[in-house]
Amino acid sequence: MKYTYILTIVALLLACKQNEAPEFPDGGRVYFFEQEPSGYGTLLHVPEKNFSFAVLDDTVTGAEGKVNVRLLGKVSDKDRVFRARVVADSTTAVEGTHYRLHDGLLKAGEMESYLPVTLYRAPGLKSAAVKICLEILPTGDLGAGLREGNRFTLHVGDFFMKPEWWTYYVDAYFGAYCDNKYKFIIETLDIIDFPMTGARYAPEAGSYTPPQMQGFQYTLVNAYAEYRKTNPPIWVDDNAETKVEIKFQL
Q: Where are the domains of the chain?
A: 21-158, 165-250
pTM as predicted: 0.80
Burial class (CB in 10 A: 0-12, 13-18, 19+), 174: buried
- Let me know the angle formed at the C-alpha of 194 by 236 and 69, rounded to the nearest 5 degrees: 125
pLDDT at 167: 84
Q: For 97-135, give one letter per residue: b (16+ CB within 10 A) or e.
A: ebbebeebbbeeeebebbbebebbbbeebeeebbbbbbe
The CATH architecture to which 21-158 belongs is Sandwich (2.60)
Alpha-carbon distance values, 67 to 13, 46, 115, 136, 151 (Å): 36, 11, 5, 11, 11
Within a 13 Å sphere around the CA of 195, how many CA atoms are in the beta-carbon half? 13
pLDDT of residue 202: 53
Distance, in Å, from the CA atom of 235 to the CA atom of 231, rounded to the nearest integer, reads 12
pLDDT, averaged per 10 consecutive residues of the chain (250 residues), comes to 43 46 65 74 79 95 95 94 96 98 96 97 96 95 84 96 88 94 96 76 70 94 97 96 91
119's CB contacts (< 8 A; 6+ apart) are 51, 53, 62, 63, 64, 65, 98, 99, 154, 156
- 89: helix, coil or strand? helix
